[in-house]
Amino acid sequence: MAKGYWVSVYRVISDRERLTAYDKLAGVAVRAGGGRVLSSGGRVVAHEAGNTHRVVLIEFASFERAVEAYESEAYQKALVTLSDAVERDFRIIEGID
């Protein structure tokens, strides 16, 4: 079964305190959903049209588990905390089996 991934690219961070609060809540939700953080704001070398903004990559056992974790009550509470503190591109993608 192919793994699932959350990929987030943060274009704008306007409230770091709320982002920190979100990170704590989201971390609990991700772990409860079986997720594993592979990268969280580390170094980036951008090529072509890329950017060097904060990138977060989280791995789940399956695409379905990734979607379930996003839809969980715990993660939805984290999103309320995040609200408009950031502008980001968030995707759930299926890996290659």
pLDDT at 56: 95
Query: What residues make up the domain containing 12?
Result: 4-94
Among 4, 6, 27, residue whose Cα is nearest residue 82: 27
Question: For the chain, what is the domain count?
Answer: 1
pLDDT digits (tens, 9 = 90+) for 51-89: 888 999 999 999 999 999 999 999 999 999 999 999 999
pLDDT digits (tens, 9 = 90+) for 10-44: 999 999 999 999 999 999 999 999 999 999 988 88
Rounded Cα–Cα distance for residues 96 and 23 (Å): 27
Cβ atoms of residues 7 and 53 within 8 Å: no
CATH of the domain at 52: 3.30.70.100
% of the chain surpassing 90 pLDDT:
84
